[in-house]
Amino acid sequence: MDVNLALSPQAILFDKIDSKPKVLAAIAQLLSQAYGLDEGEVLENLEAREALGSTGFGRGVAIPHCRSKDVRRPSLAMIRLEQPIDFAAADSRPVTLVCGLVSPENAGATHLHALAAISRLTRDEAKLQMLADAPTTEAAYALLTTQFERDAA
């Protein structure tokens, strides 16, 4: 299944962010800077989706996601948090890895395939540990790029 997920090295951040609202703002900023999107619109859409129910996926991972009229294909941003934060996850575990996704407005199945690809990656304990241990954002980018290219093949 070809997900054709956009991933920019500028869309990866290792940081100490101490709350869910600040994480959503940081994801919106990364997505807007890396892919030329309207930061305010992305943040508003992420917050609206989050209001429907937490995107805390479990196992220390959150996948906040939304859609935008300004994006051509699903686009990813990732933040690895230095300290875990509460994200109201399904398993009640605090979150240290946040994968933000923005997809085209009318990309129903494509959006779901992109979420599934991220989900597969984060369910793999070894890959999750490799992301947690990545010494630099460049190393995390290389891991993610390799994984999503393998998924698409």
Nearest to 90 by CA among 114, 60, 118: 60
- Beta carbons of 107 and 67 less than 8 angstroms apart: yes
State yes or no: pLDDT of 8 exceeds 90: yes
> What value does the mean pLDDT take over residues 110-122?
89
pLDDT for residue 79 is more than 50: yes
| Residue-range domains of the chain with CATH | 6-147 (3.40.930.10)
Which stretches does DSSP call E strand in the chain? Answer: 6-15, 56-58, 61-62, 65-68, 75-85, 95-104
| 146 has pLDDT over 90 | no
Is pTM beyond 0.95 here?
A: no
In this prediction, residue 1 carries a pLDDT of 36
Q: What is the overall mean pLDDT for the chain? A: 91
Question: Active-site positions?
Answer: 65
Ramachandran bin of 36, using left for φ above 0, alpha for ψ from -120 to 50, beta for the remaining angles = left
